[in-house]
Amino acid sequence: MIRFSLVCANGHDFESWFASNESYDFQIERDLVTCPHCSVARINKAVMAPAVTRSIRNALPTKQNVALIGEGDAELRKMARDLHAKIVDATVDVGAEFPAEARKIHDGDAPERAIRGLASPDEARALLEDGVSILPLPILPDERG
């Protein structure tokens, strides 16, 4: 028996057991698998377990987390700067290749290593939704540009 995490055309997550991959394909092709929530038969395999999908969705604000650190708070600014420097030091810059490269490393198609680079909010969101644990690099306003 194989358990698959599935998602219906209306976005409901559920899990179902199948005797084999072939059994899954057979039943899906004949619309024999229906969503327990809305009964539609348009079902796909989910990228990850529903619980994980939900927790990541919840952890993904549509707005970005920001902080305002005053000029006077030198210690906090130094910590952010040091953390940024540490991460830069420990990672290889892959630039615009970051989304593709991060995915390759996650999928085991590229050697495991720490990288940094550029990702649009949409690209970052897609990576997180696929279970690739990327994190934003702290950058102080006076370091932009």
Considering only CA atoms, which of 65, 64, 48, 66 is closest in space to residue 56?
48
| CB nearer to Zn ion: pick between 7 and 94 | 7
Give the tokens for residue 63: 């707005």
Query: How many distinct helices (H) and strands (E) make up the chain?
Result: 5, 5
Residue 38 binding Zn ion, by CB under 5 A: yes
For 6, what's the count of Cα atoms within 13 Å in the CB-facing half-sphere? 24
Q: Which is nearer to Zn ion, 33 or 94 (CB)?
A: 33
Shortest distance (Å) from residue 44 CB to Zn ion: 11
42 lines the binding site for Zn ion (CB under 5 A): no
Site for Zn ion in 16-35 (CB under 5 A): 35
Q: Is 6 one of the binding residues for Zn ion (CB under 5 A)?
A: no
Distance, CA of 40 to CA of 33 (rounded, Å) = 8
Structural tokens at position 30: 């004949």
10 lies in the site for Zn ion, by CB under 5 A: yes
Q: Is 37 in the site for Zn ion (CB under 5 A)?
A: yes
Q: Report the run of H or E that residue 94 belongs to, with start and end.
A: none
* Site size for Zn ion (CB under 5 A): 6
| Binding interface with Zn ion (CB under 5 A) | 8, 10, 12, 35, 37-38
